[in-house]
Each structure stands twice: as structure tokens, then as C-alpha cells.
Amino acid sequence: MLIVNPFSTSVTERLVEDVEDALRQQVELETQYTQAKGHATELAARAAEEADAVVVLSGDGTYNEAINGAAGRIPMGFLPGGGTSVFPRALGLPRDAYVAAEAVAYAIAAGRTRRISLGRVNGRRFAFSAGLGLDAEAVRRMDARGRTEDGKRPGDFAFAATVLRLFTEARLRFEPALEIVGVGRAAFVMVANGSPYSFAGPVRLQLTPEAKFEEGLSFVAPVAVRPAEVPRLAARALRGRLHEDAVVLAGENEDRIEVVCDRPLPLQADGEDLGDVLEATFVAERDALEVLL
């Protein structure tokens, strides 16, 4: 089954036809289009019962829905159709969806897969990242911007501008607002299932460079952010060395990360807003997903 989100940034009718052609060179195919938020979860759950594999052409939010619906019961392929499409790029697939579809088609025919871990936060699985505080607030504000007339979401530059605006509003200062149980207090926390954490255009944002999809979860959590520290922290983040900073808590290959907040804070998983929470428990589900590569 090919699940397509027709509203993902890069998805067009022509692209869907090209992807279908690439897949049909190797497999029999049924295409299903998502019609509303959460529909990919239903379609992937159905595919897990009826198909031999499921391939998703979309952005990261729809990948997340499909992963939660399939629940590890079926091999899955992921094709870049969003503005960023972090997950397939982090797995090493090309940004060109047609070329990626050819690779996934051959993987299906040859039975080539890679077993990876998933993360889970408060019961919701995630493929590559989840965050509590700063990045989740940025996700929420991006959602509030709405979509263009053709249903597309804003891209990377809009997200970067949103994060910059958050820092400006806070006057470049973030004080401790949560407790990572057994580790210490921090202003916000970002949890990764692999690396990079995200992309800014072609630039890999490796906030947790040691994170691996086959292992447990990694995290970085600035204890506090003050104006004088922003340039240094930003430079370290771009160089993949944020976890080495003296004012940043960090951990890698963790099975469980428990966080208690001083006040309700926004939570995101794979760029999906999960609402405000007072507590968040991040758990590694090892060997949870068979990916077509």
C-alpha cells in the first residue's frame, strides 16, 4: 500500500504518478490518499492486516501517524514529500522521491530491510525526535500560521524565523522550567532517536551526533539560556557539539527519560503538537520497526 498525503509540501499529482511507476516496476500496488489528520494511522493499521509492505509519501507528521498505526507489524518505506522530510533523509534515502521510490521498490523485491528502534513519549511513538518546551512551542506556532491556498505548510525558513522570534520574545533568556529525573533541572529538553535531529535546508542539525537508530534515546537539555551564551550555544549546535557544553545536560543510549515540568509545557513528536503536559516519559522501543532500504 502506498499512503499519500496530497497536502504535503512537495507532493503533486505528477510526483504521485512517478512514484507509482517506480514502485510498480517491482510490486503490485494500491494507493490511498489521506483525507484528514489521523487518517494515515487508520490506513497503516489496515495495511498491516492486508498488505506485505506499506510505503508513505508525505512529510514527517504523516510518517508519524503511519508508524503509530502499523505498530511495527509490517515493513515500511518512507519517501520524501514534505518540506523537510527529516526521517527518510536521516535514514540515507535521496531527497528525490522518484529515486527514493526506486530504491524502496528494489528493497521490497529483494527483502532488504533494516531493523531500527523507535521512541515513545506518553504513549505516542516517534521516529526521530521529540521535544518539551522550546522546539515544541515553535511547532505549535508553525501550525498556527496555517497553510497556503493549496494546503501546503510553511518550510524550513519559516520554522527558523519562528525559533528566532521565540528567542527574541524571551530576550534571549530561558530559565529552568523542568526536572529530568535523576539528571537535573533544565530550561527545555530535546530527545532524539537518531541523528540528525532535523535539517535546515541542506544543513544537518546534529544536536545529538552520537544517536543511532539501532540504539536507545539521546537528549540535550540546556540548564538555562542567557543572552551572553546564545552565540556560543548556537555555534556549538551547528557544529554538532552542543552536548559538550558545560551548561547543557546530555545523555545517550537511554532506555527511559522521565521529565517533570514546573508548569504545563508544550510537547512535540516528529513535529506533531501533542499538547501541554506536566510530565513526559520518553521510552526507547528497541528493534521496533523494519524499514525498507
Residues 198 and 226 in one domain: yes
Residues 62 and 151 in one domain: no
Tell me, what amino acid is at 228? A
pLDDT value at residue 282:
98
Q: What is the per-residue pLDDT for 152?
A: 58
Confidence band of 291 (pLDDT split at 50, 70, 90): very high
| Calpha distance 94→75 (Å, rounded) | 19
**Tell me, what's the pLDDT at 142?**
86
78 and 143 belong to one structural domain? no
Residue 205 pairs in a beta bridge with 198
pLDDT digits (tens, 9 = 90+) for 186-212: 999 999 999 999 988 888 989 999 999
pLDDT-based confidence at residue 143 (cuts at 50, 70, 90): confident
Work out how many domains the chain is built from and give that number: 2
pLDDT at 171 over 90: no
Residue 151, pLDDT > 60, answer no
Give the separation between CA 240 and CA 253, rounded to whole angstroms: 17
In a shared domain, residues 64 and 207: no
> Could you list the residue range(s) of the whole structural domain that residue 229 is in?
125-286
- 271 touches 158 (CB < 8 A): no
CA distances from 200 to 38, 74, 82 (A): 26, 31, 13
pLDDT for residue 87 is more than 60 = yes
Phi, psi of 189 (to 5 degrees): -140, 140
Residue 152 and residue 14 in one domain: no
pLDDT at 2 over 70: yes
User: What's residue 153's pLDDT?
Assistant: 61
Stated pTM of the model: 0.93
CA distance 81 to 66: 14
With beta carbons less than 8 A apart as the criterion, state whether 78 and 6 touch: no
Tell me if 93 is assigned to some domain: yes
pLDDT at 213 over 70: yes
Pairing assessment for the beta strands 217-222 and 203-205 based on DSSP bridges = unpaired
Q: CB neighbours (10 Å) of residue 148?
A: 11
Q: What percent of the chain has pLDDT over 90?
A: 83
C-alpha cell at 100: 527514493
Residue 118 lies in a domain: no
Mean pLDDT (whole number) for 24-50: 97
Segment holding 96, helix H or strand E: none
Contact 197/160 with Cβ under 8 angstroms? no
Domain end marker among 81, 111, 141: 111
The answer to whether residues 284 and 258 touch, using CB atoms and an 8 Å cutoff, is no
Could you tell me if 85 and 44 lie in one domain? yes
Q: What is the CA radius of gyration of the chain?
A: 19
99/163 same-domain check? no
Segment among 38-52, 96-110, 144-158, 205-219 with least mean pLDDT? 144-158
CATH number of the domain bearing residue 78: 3.40.50.10330
Does the structure show a pLDDT above 70 at 254? yes
- Helices (H) and strands (E) counted in the chain, each on its own, are 8, 16
Last residue of a domain, one of 111, 142, 176: 111
When pLDDT is averaged across residues 141-162 and rounded to a whole number, the result is 68
CA pair distance 92, 100, nearest whole angstrom? 10
162 against 45, higher pLDDT: 45
Q: Where are the alpha helices (DSSP H) in 51-115?
A: 60-70, 86-90, 97-110
Tell me, yes or no, whether 159 and 194 share the same domain. Answer: yes
Regarding whether 277 and 144 lie in a shared domain, the answer is yes
Strand segments (E) across the chain = 2-4, 31-33, 54-58, 76-80, 113-121, 124-126, 129-132, 178-180, 184-186, 189-192, 198-200, 203-205, 217-222, 248-254, 256-269, 272-292
pLDDT at 224 over 70: yes
Distance of CA 133 to the CA centre of its chain: 16
pLDDT of 253 above 60? yes
Q: Residue 167 maps to which CATH number?
A: 2.60.200.40
Instruction: Identify the bridge partners of residue 204 per DSSP, sorted by sequence position.
Output: 199
Q: What is the mean pLDDT of the chain?
A: 93
